[in-house]
Amino acid sequence: MATEIERKFLLRHDSWREGAQGQRYRQGYLSTDKERVVRVRTVGDTGYLTIKGIARGISRLEFEYPIPLADAESMLESLCLGPIIDKTRYRIPYGEHVFEVDEFHGENTGLIVAEVELGSEDEGFERPDWLGEEVTDDSRYANAALIEHPFSAW
C-alpha cells in the first residue's frame, strides 16, 4: 500500500525557471468521486493509471501503474471526463527535496503551482524564496477539480 503525502503552493515569482526543463503531461479522469479518483496520464512514451483515495489531512492512498501508451491515449480520447488536463511539469531540486512545478495550458492557462512530496505529515523542508501561499487545503487547485471548474472560469 502506498501513501502520498504532499503540500501544494502558489508561486511568488518566476525565478524557479532558471535552468528548469519540463516535460509535457496529459491527464484525464475516469472518476472524480471524492472517495476515489481514477486518473489516466501520458508522460513521454509511457501511460499511467493512478487510483487515489480520499485525503486525510495531507495524506492519501495512491496506487500508480504503467500502462501501454496506446491504451492511455485511447482512454484519454474516449473515456475520460473533459477537458483533458494539459501541463508542463518541472522538477526543481531544492535542499533535500524536489519540488514539482506544474504550469497548466489550455483552459487552465495562467495557473502555476508547486508541490512537494514528504515522507511524513510533520516533515519539515526548506522553502525556496519563489514559494508562495500554501493551497494544500483549497480543493479548487486539485487537478481533478480543474476539469469541472477550469482556472479560466474563476
What count of residues does the chain have?
Answer: 154
Q: What DSSP assignment string belongs to 90-148?
A: EEEEETTEEEEEEEE-GGGTT-EEEEEE-SSTT------TTEEEE-TT-GGGSHHHHHH
As a whole-number percent, the residues of the chain with pLDDT over 90 amount to 90
With 90 as the cut, is the pLDDT of residue 19 above it? Answer: no
pLDDT in tens, 27-83: 999 999 988 999 999 999 999 999 999 888 888 999 999 999 999 999 999 999 989
Active site residue 29: yes
pLDDT in tens, 74-102: 999 999 998 999 999 999 999 999 999 99
User: Cα(88)–Cα(77) distance, rounded to whole angstroms?
Assistant: 19
Helix or strand holding residue 70 (H, E): helix 69-78
The one catalytic residue in 25, 29, 90, 141 is 29
Please identify which residue in the block is written with the cell numbers 499511467.
Answer: 48
Please tell me the predicted confidence (pLDDT) of residue 1.
Answer: 54
Q: Which CATH class is domain 3-153?
A: mainly beta
Please tell me the predicted confidence (pLDDT) of residue 112.
Answer: 98
The whole model's pTM is what? 0.92
pLDDT in tens, 97-150: 999 999 999 999 999 999 999 999 999 999 999 999 999 999 999 999 999 999
Instruction: List the grid coordinates of 41.
Output: 496520464
